[in-house]
Structure 1
Amino acid sequence: MTIHGAQRPFSLGLSTTALSLGAALNPLNSSMIAVALVMLRGDFKLDVATVTWVITAFYLTSAAGQPLMGRLADRFGPKRLFTFGMALVAVTCAVAPFAGSFFLVCLARVFMALGTATAFPSAVVMVRTLSEAAKVSSTRPLARIQMASTAGAAIGPVVGGLLVSSIGWPSLFYINVPLSLLALLGVQFFAPADPPREKGRLGELIKASDLPGILAFTATLVLLLMGLLDALPGYRWLLLALAPAAAALFAWRELKAGRPFLDLRLLGRNRPLLLIYLAFAVFNGVYYIAFFGLPQLFEESAGYPANIVGLLMLPLAAVSVIATPFAARAIDRFGVRGVLIIGVITLLLGAALLGLLVLSYQVWLIVILAAALGLPYSAVSIASSQGMYASTRAEDAGVAAGILQTCRYIGAISATVLIGIFYAPGVDQTAWAWLVGSMIVLSLLALLITILWRPAAKQ
């Protein structure tokens, strides 16, 4: 397989930059919409529960869509899928601001989620060819892609706040048009060429795609996540009860299918990959308790205004971004397992130190604690991506990367559930103490899983 423009000295850098830009769009759009909720409520005359569907629709589609897009990248080529996804984002975001109803806005967010969900799995599939052609470790391009994803989530509220305050909520769609087109053009010119696509009649291709398995998988995730999010008040326990039934149907279908969407037998034998998924979901549960819980604590209990709270949280995201390249170099030197264990131990220490906020809300203390939590995020994120990459067959890299991203969403949503439980009586230092205890327990669980993990191949 050749790389377009292989004679260019920066083909690896340019293609990785384009892939990174595309990978940043999903977390960017999942976070910056939060600052537009008040304006959307006013423009469309909505209540608080209804307006949150603009977030819920994106989360559900992203969580369910990532593995699906990964499987499509494996089957039909990552470059084709990435290009299609970025084109879908550009077209959707160009027309979404003209939506005349809130339903159409939510529908546009669904298409945005589908388009941006193509990026990370496609990028992981292409990394193998890129790193082999450039004769460099795969940790280098993976680190850049992970850093872009982290940066997207981190700067989302800041970028969103500037755009909404100066232009309005439609600007959150418009900004995606040039970004997605830049990513599309960069991949077209500098990314690896896809292998020949599968050929055959449309009916045969659809049959071979295991649509029943895809639908059962999607139903399982949607029921589970809607139940955890309490997206339909009054039906939470029904949704959570239906999720295992859908999961059983999915398992039965995949074990029966000749060409399953997700090979459960192979996955069941791949203990390293399963442990990476589990550890990553638990880790993100800890991280997002801090990411979502601290701003509410600072604003409602400490009394800091919203703009100051944003600045107080910035060190967490900034350190995460800055430390990622160093974590990648550490993987090359000490291996994935070593960095994972150190990262989770640091997470445990950071979670325990957050208990100091029960005693004081001093700015200097908040800044130090937030920055300290950014270190384990960078280490565990890049090490988990590399561990997943090394534990997966080349032909399954896309769907494996998609499931890893779904684990991130499951961890984040689980964190919001815990925050809702402990903050329900009131947002104060007592409630935060209970959340810190939850973070410590989850960190210990993540550490146990990480210690049990062994790489499937030499790192």
Structure 2
Amino acid sequence: MSNTPRTGLAVTGLSLGTALNPLNSSMIAVALVVLRADFRLDVPTVTWVITVFYLTSAAGQPVMGRLADRFGPRRLYLFGMALVAVTCALAPFSPNFLLVCVARAFMALGTASAYPCAVVMVGPLARLANVESTRPLGRIQMSNTSAAAVGPVIGGVLVSLLGWQALFLINVPLSLAALFLVWKYAPADTERERGKLSELLRDSDIPGILAFVGSLMLVMMSLLNVLPDLRWWLLAGGTLLAVLFVWRELCFSPPFLDLRLLGRNRPLLLVYLGFALFNGLYYFAFFGLPQLLEEAGGYDPGIVGLLMLPLAAMSVVSTPFAVRAIERFRVRRVLIAGVVLLTLASGAMWFLTGSLAVPLVLALTALLGVPYGMVSIASSQGMFVSTRPHERGVAAGIYQTSRYLGAITATVLIGVLYGSGVTQANWGSMVLVMLGLGAVAFVVALLWRERTE
């Protein structure tokens, strides 16, 4: 059998696995009412089922990337998918809400392994198939984009027919299929680190990892305001741990995160900054627009989900064209063009301050989806070419964390701007913020250059 069909099936398995994290982060939103009724919860308590997934994913992705770099992406990917399958098979039998949240944390940890491992495996797979790395990266990015957008629709169907338990059970066959395809068709890991367990643990920078995870989680909990009475204490604790993390990483060898190397890698830092800005802009629309349509437009939630689908559809359709454009014009030109189009599409959202008619909403969400696909794949490829092969796991993990930071920032600002009410006038203020984010993202795209070393 030629390598091309085998690598195609391997990429399919990687795409399926990487889709599970965004799918589960979005489709749980439709189950909150059912969970509240089943476990007799109040609104602040039930939101922990979302918060714990965000926190574990954001903190876990760089750690999983580091493990993939050290011990091999294929075996870590298989472990992650097995963890998801086992967790999701047991979670529906949880007798209380605490165990549901614990299951969500384990699910997030398992799915967090997928994207960093996939990025590490992209290089060998592209070489086997004799194609540019943009091809497999494009397929993986398409699965991420479409999964996040169709999550609420799939979740709504599952919850209405089978209950919240179905949101766990659906992951069992999906994760097993991803596990089988990668186990069967992905190339074996190259020789990675070996040695005594005590030596591996000593060289793994466990204190550095714990300081990184702790600081990130405390700061994110402060931003999400999950414990209002302790918000500023959480921020102070997270800042202190961040300082200790920097001190540790500058003193320890080999560090979990080589801050000196990262500081010298300007292209990678610009990719992270640009991707965070891009996701802040995108999630303004993804989280803010449905609220506007429901409360100011009076649309049923099911209709709102359908009105948002063109965003996902057009981003998926535009991704293959973006891949070919990158192969012809290189990453920087496609990235700049995508950011310009994204900013213009954001400005067009101003028309919703005057009308929320269905044709207008469909046209604008479709318009926003085109540059979303372009910027997503250009950013992914920018991250890929800005790192050396042995650094790509942890680099991909931090890249995904940048996505969550952008999404959380958008969530916080939406709460501020909608504080006086979900109105078309306040949506206009949000559009101005989106334009500001687009302008800064444009400057970052102009500054980015592909690594030459």
CA distance in 2, matches of 1:274, 1:26: 24
Match of 2:398 among 399, 403, 414: 403
**Does residue 417 of structure 2 align to residue 419 of structure 1?**
no
Task: Report the counterpart of residue 451 of structure 1 in structure 2.
Answer: 446
CA distance in 2, matches of 1:354, 1:237: 35
The 5 A counterparts of 1:107-256 are: 107-256=102-251
Match of 2:301 among 280, 288, 306: 306
The answer to whether the 8 A contact 1:358-1:433 is kept is yes
Task: Report the counterpart of residue 385 of structure 1 in structure 2.
Answer: 380
User: How many residues get paired?
Assistant: 453
CA distance in 2, matches of 1:139, 1:260: 30
Runs of 4+ in 1 over 3 A off after TM superposition: 6-9
CA distance in 2, matches of 1:321, 1:368: 16
SS at match of 2:44: helix
The one-letter code matched in structure 2 to 1:64 is A
Query: How big is each residue's C-alpha offset from its partner over 1:92-122, in whole Å with a ceiling of 9 and x where there is no partner?
Result: 0000000011000000000000000010000
Task: Report the counterpart of residue 55 of structure 2 in structure 1.
Answer: 60
Match of 1:25 among 20, 44, 57: 20
The one-letter code matched in structure 2 to 1:388 is M
The answer to whether the 8 A contact 2:4-2:128 is kept is no
**Does residue 321 of structure 2 align to residue 321 of structure 1?**
no
The one-letter code matched in structure 2 to 1:161 is G
Deviation at 1:309, TM superposition (A): 0.8
Provide the alpha-carbon RMSD of the alignment: 1.0
Task: Report the counterpart of residue 262 of structure 2 in structure 1.
Answer: 267
The answer to whether the 8 A contact 2:4-2:129 is kept is no
Distance 1:162 1:253, change over 3 A: same
Task: Report the counterpart of residue 353 of structure 2 in structure 1.
Answer: 358
CA distance in 2, matches of 1:243, 1:91: 32
The 5 A counterparts of 1:93-104 are: 93-104=88-99
Deviation at 1:322, TM superposition (A): 1.4
TM-score by length of 1: 0.97
Task: Report the counterpart of residue 272 of structure 2 in structure 1.
Answer: 277
The answer to whether the 8 A contact 2:3-2:129 is kept is no
Query: How big is each residue's C-alpha offset from its partner over 1:389-425, in whole Å with a ceiling of 9 and x where there is no partner?
Result: 0010110010001111000000000000010001111
The answer to whether the 8 A contact 1:295-1:309 is kept is yes
Gaps of 5+ in 1: 1-5
* Bigger Cα displacement from structure 2, 234-243 vs 420-429: 234-243
The answer to whether the 8 A contact 1:388-1:400 is kept is yes
Query: How big is each residue's C-alpha offset from its partner over 1:259-309, in whole Å with a ceiling of 9 and x where there is no partner?
Result: 000000000000000000000001100000000000000000011111111
The answer to whether the 8 A contact 1:390-1:457 is kept is no
CA distance in 2, matches of 1:79, 1:148: 19
The answer to whether the 8 A contact 2:119-2:396 is kept is yes
SS at match of 1:20: helix
The one-letter code matched in structure 2 to 1:428 is T
Task: Report the counterpart of residue 69 of structure 1 in structure 2.
Answer: 64
CA distance in 1, matches of 2:45, 2:369: 33
Query: What is the identity percentage for the equivalent residue pairs of Structure 1 and Structure 2?
Result: 63
Gaps of 5+ in 2: none
The answer to whether the 8 A contact 1:93-1:176 is kept is yes
The answer to whether the 8 A contact 2:149-2:309 is kept is yes
Deviation at 1:8, TM superposition (A): 5.3
**Does residue 57 of structure 2 align to residue 85 of structure 1?**
no
* Bigger Cα displacement from structure 2, 9-18 vs 82-91: 9-18
CA distance in 2, matches of 1:238, 1:30: 27
Query: How big is each residue's C-alpha offset from its partner over 1:67-98, in whole Å with a ceiling of 9 and x where there is no partner?
Result: 00000000000000000000000000000000
Query: How big is each residue's C-alpha offset from its partner over 1:338-360, in whole Å with a ceiling of 9 and x where there is no partner?
Result: 01100110111011110111111
Task: Report the counterpart of residue 369 of structure 1 in structure 2.
Answer: 364
Deviation at 1:244, TM superposition (A): 2.0
TM-score by length of 2: 0.99
Task: Report the counterpart of residue 289 of structure 2 in structure 1.
Answer: 294
Deviation at 1:198, TM superposition (A): 2.3
The answer to whether the 8 A contact 1:39-1:169 is kept is yes
CA distance in 2, matches of 1:207, 1:342: 46
SS at match of 1:92: helix
The one-letter code matched in structure 2 to 1:194 is D
The one-letter code matched in structure 1 to 2:251 is K
Task: Report the counterpart of residue 50 of structure 1 in structure 2.
Answer: 45
